[in-house]
Amino acid sequence: MVELGWLGHAAWRIKFSKATVFVDPYLSQNPSASMKVSEIKDADYVIVTHNHFDHIGGNGNNLPDAFAIAKRTKAKVVGIFEMSVAAQKAGLKDAIGMNIGSIADLGPIKVGLTTAIHSGDEAGVIIKADNVTIYHAGDTALFSDMKLIKEQHKPDIALLPIGGFFTMGPEEAAKAADMIGAKVTIPMHYNTFPPIKQDAKKFARLVKKSNVKILSPGEVFKFTK
């Protein structure tokens, strides 16, 4: 069983049998965050899809949330190469810098970066463990090669932004969900700020080829394949 806890916005805590993974842990300045950085005691990997403050975690003049979590838990930061360079400059010497194109075996989990259409050294991420494949799209527009993500990786769970303005809105995200065809699709990156206010139920009604699960910040979804 894999547990996915939505921490608000695009932030997730994913518990596999042998690893706890945080993705885009924007917490300190996130008005919808269900957890504080100081409450995190256990993490093995912190994956960051891109360098915008609402994904790496803005924290004033202190370390970004992603780096602060890694420092306090000894977790490895994983992201695009430039992200790893920034992490290493912040003192996280074993940060893992990757690029788009393949799957890397990190031991307890496998991770691959995918195309995303956005800005900020952007990527989506594939995470594989316990015979479960999760696709976190990061921030992205709709793009037709999402069909290749389905073909190549066959995600069990897709985490898709639906807020619009900066990313896909409900209509575009519904097309993405249908192209990806995951068993379960969970919307994210909405209702944090006024420009991305959306009705997740509208998104769910538009999706034809996936079971949509709508979570509240702090809620945990348990998945068994």
Q: What angle do CA 91, 56, 89 make, to 5 degrees?
A: 20
Predicted model pTM: 0.97
Q: Quote the pLDDT of residue 62.
A: 82
Q: Quote the pLDDT of residue 60.
A: 60
Cβ neighbours of 168 (radius 10 Å): 26
Q: Quote the pLDDT of residue 181.
A: 97
Out of 3.10.150.10, 3.30.750.24, 3.50.50.60, 3.60.15.10, the CATH code matching 2-217 is 3.60.15.10
Q: Quote the pLDDT of residue 225.
A: 86
In the sheet that 211-212 helps form, which strands lie side by side, from edge to edge?
A: 103-105, 110-114, 124-129, 132-136, 157-161, 184-188, 211-212
Instruction: Kindly list the averaged pLDDT for each block of 10 residues, start to end, along the chain of length 225.
Output: 98 98 96 95 98 87 91 97 95 96 97 98 98 98 97 98 98 98 98 98 97 98 95
Domain layout of the chain by residue ranges: 2-217
Q: Quote the pLDDT of residue 61.
A: 62
Torsion of CA 47, 49, 54, 56, to 10 degrees: 40
Which uninterrupted H or E stretch holds 143? none
